[in-house]
Amino acid sequence: MVPPAVARLSRVWFPSGGIAGSGVEDAHAKLIRAGFLRQSYAGMFHMLPLGRRVQNKVERLVAGHMEDLLAASRVTLSSISAESLWEKSGRLQNVASELFRFSDRRDVAYLLAPTHEEEITTLVARTVKSYKELPLRLYQITRKYRDEFRPRHGLLRGREFVMKDLYTFDNSIESALETYDKVRAVYARIFADMKLPVLAAKASSGDMGGDLSHEYHLPTQLGEDHIVSCGSCDYVVNEEIADSVVSEEVPSGTPFQVWRGITKDRTKLVNVWYPRWTRSLDAGELREYTEQDINLSTVKFVVPDLDAGVDDALPFWSNATAAETGTATELVNVVDGRLLPLLGGSSVGSTTTISSWPAALSPPTKPLHVSFHHSTGCSNKPLNLLRIRTGDKCPQCSAGNLKVERAMELGHTFFLGTRYTEPLGAMTSVPPAGQPLPMQMGCYGIGISRVVGAVAEHLADSTGLNWPVAIAPYSCVIIPGKDADEADTMGVYNHINGGSGLANAWLDVALDDRQKPLPWKLTDADLIGFPVIVLLGKEWRAAKRVEVQCRRLGIKQAVEMADLPSVIHQLHASL
What's the pLDDT score for residue 1? 47
Query: Within this chain, do residues 442 and 470 fall inside the same structural domain, yes or no?
Result: no
Q: Which domain holds residue 171?
A: 72-78+114-224+405-457
Segment (H or E) for 486: helix 486-498
Cβ burial, residue 285 (10 Å; 0-12/13-18/19+)? exposed
Query: Within this chain, do residues 292 and 352 fall inside the same structural domain, yes or no?
Result: yes
Cβ burial, residue 386 (10 Å; 0-12/13-18/19+)? buried
Backbone angles phi, psi at 375, to 5 degrees: -145, 165
HSE value, Cβ hemisphere, 13 Å, CA-based, for 159: 16
What's the pLDDT score for residue 243? 81
Alpha-helical (H) ranges within 15-48 are: 27-33
Backbone angles phi, psi at 513, to 5 degrees: -105, 20
CB under 8 Å, gap of 24 or more: what pairs does 126-134 form?
Answer: 128/169, 128/426, 128/428, 128/439, 129/428, 129/429, 130/428, 130/429, 131/171, 131/428, 131/429, 131/430, 131/431, 133/428, 134/169, 134/170, 134/171, 134/175, 134/428, 134/439
Query: Within this chain, do residues 284 and 312 fall inside the same structural domain, yes or no?
Result: yes
Query: Within this chain, do residues 427 and 347 fall inside the same structural domain, yes or no?
Result: no
Q: What is the CATH number of the domain that holds 190?
A: 3.30.930.10
What's the pLDDT score for residue 352? 47
Query: Within this chain, do residues 419 and 372 fall inside the same structural domain, yes or no?
Result: no
Domain annotation covers residue 412: yes
Domain annotation covers residue 400: no
Can you tell me the distance from the alpha carbon of 388 to that of 404, in angstroms, rounded to the nearest whole number? 7
Domain annotation covers residue 205: yes
Distance set, CA 290 to CA 63, 105, 176, 247 (Å): 45, 53, 44, 18
Query: Within this chain, do residues 262 and 354 fall inside the same structural domain, yes or no?
Result: yes
- pLDDT per residue, tens digit, the chain (575 aa), is 455 688 899 999 988 765 666 667 889 999 999 999 999 999 999 999 999 999 999 999 999 999 999 999 999 999 999 999 999 999 998 888 899 999 999 999 999 999 999 999 999 999 998 889 999 999 999 999 999 888 888 999 899 999 999 999 999 999 999 999 999 999 999 999 999 999 999 988 776 667 799 999 999 888 888 999 998 999 999 988 888 777 777 887 778 889 999 998 999 999 999 988 888 766 677 888 889 899 888 898 889 889 888 889 999 999 998 877 888 999 999 998 888 777 765 455 444 456 778 888 888 778 888 888 888 765 677 888 888 888 888 988 878 889 999 999 999 999 999 999 999 999 998 777 678 899 999 999 999 999 999 999 999 999 999 999 999 999 999 999 988 889 999 999 988 887 554 555 668 899 999 999 999 999 999 999 999 999 999 989 889 999 999 999 999 999 999 999 999 999 998 88
Can you tell me the distance from the alpha carbon of 561 to that of 558, in angstroms, rounded to the nearest whole number? 10
Q: What is the CATH number of the domain that holds 528?
A: 3.40.50.800
Distance of CA 93 to the CA centre of its chain: 24
Domain annotation covers residue 7: no
Query: Within this chain, do residues 449 and 472 fall inside the same structural domain, yes or no?
Result: no
pTM score? 0.86
Domain annotation covers residue 54: no
Can you tell me the distance from the alpha carbon of 276 to that of 287, in angstroms, rounded to the nearest whole number? 8
Domain annotation covers residue 40: no
Terminal Cα-to-Cα distance of the chain (whole angstroms): 30
Distance of CA 5 to the CA centre of its chain: 37
What's the pLDDT score for residue 188? 96
Can you tell me the distance from the alpha carbon of 387 to that of 382, in angstroms, rounded to the nearest whole number? 14
What are the residues whose beta carbons fall under 8 Å from the beta carbon of 27, sequence distance 6 or more? 154, 453, 456, 457, 460, 465
Distance set, CA 387 to CA 153, 248, 274, 298, 383 (Å): 25, 13, 11, 9, 11
Can you tell me the distance from the alpha carbon of 190 to that of 58, in angstroms, rounded to the nearest whole number? 9
Query: Within this chain, do residues 489 and 568 fall inside the same structural domain, yes or no?
Result: yes
Query: Within this chain, do residues 273 and 213 fall inside the same structural domain, yes or no?
Result: no
What's the pLDDT score for residue 373? 87
Query: Within this chain, do residues 262 and 367 fall inside the same structural domain, yes or no?
Result: yes
Domain annotation covers residue 445: yes
CB 98 within 8 A of CB 146: yes
Query: Within this chain, do residues 143 and 202 fall inside the same structural domain, yes or no?
Result: yes
Domain annotation covers residue 563: yes
- The structural domain count of the chain equals 3
Query: Within this chain, do residues 309 and 252 fall inside the same structural domain, yes or no?
Result: yes
Q: Is 130 left (phi over 0), alpha (psi -120 to 50) or beta?
A: beta
